[in-house]
Amino acid sequence: MTGNAEWIKRGEQVFVGTYSRFPAAMVKGRGCRLWDADGREYLDFLAGIAVCSLGHCHPAVTEAVCRQAGELMHVSNLFHTRPQIELAELLTQNSFADRVFMANSGAEANEAAIKLARIHAGEGRFEIISLSGSFHGRTLATVAATGQPKFHQGFEPLPEGFIHAGFGDPAALEELISDKTCAILCEPLQGESGVRPLEPEYLQAIRNLCDKHNLLLIFDEVQTGLGRTGTLFAHEQLGVTPDIMTLAKALGNGLPIGAMLTTDDIAASLGVGTHASTFGGNPVAAAGAVAVLKTMLAPGFLDQVRERSAYFMERLEEVAARFPHLATGVRGRGLLLGLVLTEKGCDLGMDIVNQLFARGVLINFAGGRVLRFIPPLIVEAEDIDLLIDRLVEVLNGC
Ligand SMILES: *Cc1c(COP(=O)(O)O)cnc(C)c1O
């Protein structure tokens, strides 16, 4: 049997060094638990970065994927396939949208949204305004849309037509709008930069600016979508509807799939030949996503997410109150929650994450400011209690 050390050594010899990984080679997952090649068990409050929302190897998803893999794996979008149609039907029946373009990732879904916004607006209107602190992906266009300079460094010149407005300031945003602007792109809650929710009034002000200046509003719900915040899509509970929405992460519960959703009228601008993806909406990934949506839409599922969220928030508030020198409070929605650290806490952020890892609990440090908790949505109260116990142990030692 080969253990962690051997796998890690082999991995380090063959990969481009883009990732700083935890020192574990994961071999198995079930529900909220993972096991590494040394047989160590972990409580997973990362869920593959908000991807495995139904937990690892959810039986309905595994069954759908295995069945589809034995029937038909791939034919390309030169043909119709059953899982892809069923998935698009489920997405449109349960959202503002009428039409779907299938991609393979969040960045690709955003690329489709960017292309649609530009072609829909027509000649000369190509500029997209996004927010500082945002994260929209790592392709050149989505990295240009991402409002964090650290992701741009070394890759200039970036594609033109992306500008960033200060967070939380609709007046500053309006000043950036010109006759070149075609869309405003934002996350209803910024995940990567530290679990920063946009207040409903702010989102409404952005919607109003789009209506006033005839711009498309694009919501990147790659991280917030699919039940993560307690409703199927985060914007539902905020009372603001976009013109375009992008999804990925939890859509396939681990299989790579993304989607760009929009209305009939706007979709009409992307005609035959304007955009495509060889794998987009691949039957196996789509069959998994159909199982994901059916599970999330079953009566009671989202109610339970909201219930767990309320309990988890309460427990995190206790932690914040107990360690005021390390934490200032809790923020987020649903099961996308963050413990905001003080300046002293921030210095210890990575250390806290690593000490939790050593105790078999997986979380991460987001935006240099926040301990982020994104467990599978099926997390039990006992799992939350275990995480809190371990976290308190670690914070006690800080
Ligand atoms: C993760 C993420 C992306 C990028 O998704 P990939 O699948 O990694 O390309 C885009 N937007 C948001 C909000 C994300 O959280």
Judge contact between 126 and 161, C-beta under 8 A: yes
Q: Are residues 357 and 262 in the same domain?
A: no
Q: Which of 297, 320, 342 is the last residue of a domain?
A: 297
Q: What is the pLDDT of residue 2?
A: 87
Amino acid identity, position 379:
V
Q: Is the CB of 378 under 6 A from ligand 1?
A: no
Number of domains in the chain: 2
Judge contact between 256 and 215, C-beta under 8 A: no
Across residues 88-109, what is the average pLDDT? 98
- Write out the residue range of the structural domain in which residue 150 sits: 72-297
Residue 67 belongs to a domain:
no
Q: Is the CB of 220 under 6 A from ligand 1?
A: yes
Query: First-to-last CA distance in the chain?
Result: 37
Q: Which of 265, 297, 329 is the last residue of a domain?
A: 297
Separation of alpha carbons 142 and 370, rounded Å: 24
Separation of alpha carbons 275 and 117, rounded Å: 13
Residue 65 has pLDDT above 90, yes or no: yes
Q: Are residues 166 and 184 in the same domain?
A: yes
Q: Are residues 131 and 269 in the same domain?
A: yes
Residue 174 — pLDDT band, cuts 50, 70, 90?
very high
Residue 142 has pLDDT above 70, yes or no: yes
For residue 146, give the CATH number of its domain. Answer: 3.40.640.10
Residue 139 — pLDDT band, cuts 50, 70, 90?
very high
Residue 131 — pLDDT band, cuts 50, 70, 90?
very high
Q: What is the pLDDT of residue 95?
A: 98
Q: Is the CB of 248 under 6 A from ligand 1?
A: yes
Rounded mean pLDDT of the chain? 97
Separation of alpha carbons 31 and 149, rounded Å: 36
Residue 1 — pLDDT band, cuts 50, 70, 90?
low
Q: Are residues 217 and 185 in the same domain?
A: yes
pLDDT digits (tens, 9 = 90+) for 33-45: 999 999 999 999 9
Paired strand residues for 371: 339, 365
Ligand 1 midpoint to CA 397 (Å)? 34
Q: How many CB atoms lie within 10 A of CB 325?
A: 11
